[in-house]
Chain A
Amino acid sequence: MKAALWQHAWRENWPLGLGLSALLMAYHLLFVWMVSLVDLGYLGVFLKFGLRLPLQDLFPIPLDQVATPLGMLSMAWIDAVPVLLVSAWAVARGSDAVSGPLDRGELEWLLTAGVSRSGFLTAQVAVAGLWSVLLAFSGWIGTWLGLLWIDLGEPVSSARFLPAVVNTWGTMFFLYGFTVLVSTWGRYRRYTIGLVGAVYAVELILKVVARMSPWKWLAGLTFFGAFEPAWLVHQDQPWWECFKYTAPLVAGAAVFLAGSFVVFKRRDLPAVV
């Protein structure tokens, strides 16, 4: 493996990875501070009597647990902001695996400079995989710092959030793997992002419908069905048990990435238009 290739992959990844990690960490830190400002007693009453039943089904944990410091903090992991941040990272980096550099006319330079296709993709996936771990952990670091500095009235262990880290990482890596597969097929990055975005929207809708309707089985059709970081925070089991819930996501990502190597190895690389 060539050092220059790995350095190049690192250079391509770090600005977005570092930026999103900082945002995610800041968001979770701020969330701890916001929780410290909320009157949890009043919130509990509102959630129990103020929300209509279908909306209550949207919560992954019982409402009486939501109105606790641990419950509130666990909800941060399924909030729109962190979910969008990790999804943006997965789609941005995944689409830049092959169709991005192919579209920009960079890929042909790398692949005619003695870099094998598998070597190129390995460097891309390995560096992006490392950043995905850092990104998932940055949220936990934000929570940990918040709990260190801010008093929530009752003790909350930051270790309770490790299952959420693992589950978030698994979901992000699954989406990354899928995007890489689409990227290895495609010629233009914008088409890769468009296709993955459409699939993402459908999967998200399936998750919401599965939650709010009697058709709970729909959750089995979407990868968001395995995305349950808030629920995992509340399970009384060793934190490594969360791997059981995340394993299908990681296995899916592995299948997508293996497929990506096969597709990339066999495909033609057309001239830049």
Chain B
Amino acid sequence: MPVPEPIAWTEKLTKRYGSLVALSRCTLSVRPGEVLGLLGPNGAGKTTLLRIWAGLIRPSSGTARVANWDCWRHPARVHRHLGYLPGEVRLFRRMSGRAVLELLGRLHPGGNVSAAVALAQRWQLDLSRRVDRASSGMRQKLALAHVCSLDVPLLVLDEPTANLDPDARRQVLEHLRQLRHQGKAVVFSSHVLSEVEQVSDRVAVLYRGELRHLGPLDQLRRSYRIQLRLAARGQGTLQPPPPGECRVQSRGQGSWELEVPRLRPELLRWLASLPVEEVRIQPLALEQLYRRVIQQEEP
């Protein structure tokens, strides 16, 4: 099956605010039918990247494009292909939920008011309530109902599940999966690693404006972490594991930690040959990858 062309990409994208570098030479892309999870601590540059894609911020250098349109030079054309959810959802406080959906649905070229209303009702929103009398979670759901109902190939969502209760989070994540099945591309940032792990096909980790990691999650999902403690007679040395990508770290006092991309038979045989006193094998979580990436020494 041919790999589809990216719907959006950045190339050496940089944003500086005076001496502060918010984003540094960031190059990535997202393809139709793909969910790209964006991770990073506060101030890593996630929102800056997403706002540049939305045409709200001018890059200092490099390019950001959606459907081949430059996001800064042709924002109106870009918005025909993009739905954007800001990180802090305020909306129009004097309007009712229904009026907000009608206004935004009528304005947006890909707007679909009836679909947005249906989605809001499915999420049990009271659309007659004024925005300034709604809770932050209700406002978030209202905004998501608009953005997720847009007939556009790309959704750019800045922390879409912020302020939502666990049930609403589950509904939103489920909806993102459906959008992916419909062939839409989704870029979303989050601080909740488990959410990114559940939904994303690929994950990008930003740290201090730099793209520290970009890779598929299915690889990570097949990877395992092996923690083992050797018996006294074998402490201090560890026979080299069989060839293949394997990260080995000593934890001291005969304890070792390995990260392996797959549990291959030769690896299990090698494990069985060791004078092991205790062993724990568990799937490698995104959290480990994330911690490792952001703890890397700066170049």
- A112/B88 in contact, CB under 8 A: no
Residues of A contacting B98 in the complex (Cβ-Cβ under 8 angstroms)? none
Report which of B47, B51, B108 forms a contact with A114, defined as CB distance below 8 A: B108
Residues of A contacting B58 in the complex (Cβ-Cβ under 8 angstroms)? 266, 268
- A114/B76 in contact, CB under 8 A: yes
Residues of A contacting B87 in the complex (Cβ-Cβ under 8 angstroms)? 271
Rounded to whole Å, the gap between the CB of B103 and the closest CB of chain A is 6
Report the count of interface residues on A (CB-CB < 8 A): 26
Q: Which residue of A lies closest to B102 (CB)?
A: A4
Give the residues from 77 to 115 in chain B that come closer than 8 angstroms, CB to CB, to chain A: 79-80, 82-84, 86-93, 103-104, 106-109, 111
Residues of B contacting A266 in the complex (Cβ-Cβ under 8 angstroms)? 58
Which residues from chain B sit less than 8 Å from chain A, CB to CB?
47, 51, 54-58, 75-76, 79-80, 82-84, 86-93, 103-104, 106-109, 111
Q: Does A148 contact B (CB under 8 A)?
A: no
Report which of B56, B88, B108 forms a contact with A268, defined as CB distance below 8 A: B56
Can you list 22 A-B contacts (CB < 8 A)? A2-B106, A2-B107, A105-B88, A108-B84, A109-B86, A109-B91, A111-B56, A112-B55, A112-B79, A112-B83, A113-B108, A114-B76, A114-B79, A114-B107, A114-B109, A119-B76, A266-B58, A268-B58, A269-B56, A271-B88, A272-B88, A272-B90
Q: Does A116 contact B (CB under 8 A)?
A: yes
Residues of A contacting B108 in the complex (Cβ-Cβ under 8 angstroms)? 113-114
Residues of A contacting B82 in the complex (Cβ-Cβ under 8 angstroms)? 112
A105 CA to B109 CA, complexed, in Å: 21
- B54/A112 in contact, CB under 8 A: yes
A262 CA to B91 CA, complexed, in Å: 26
Report which of B76, B79, B86, B103 forms a contact with A272, defined as CB distance below 8 A: B86
A104 CA to B89 CA, complexed, in Å: 10
Residues of B contacting A271 in the complex (Cβ-Cβ under 8 angstroms)? 47, 51, 86-88
Residues of A contacting B111 in the complex (Cβ-Cβ under 8 angstroms)? 113
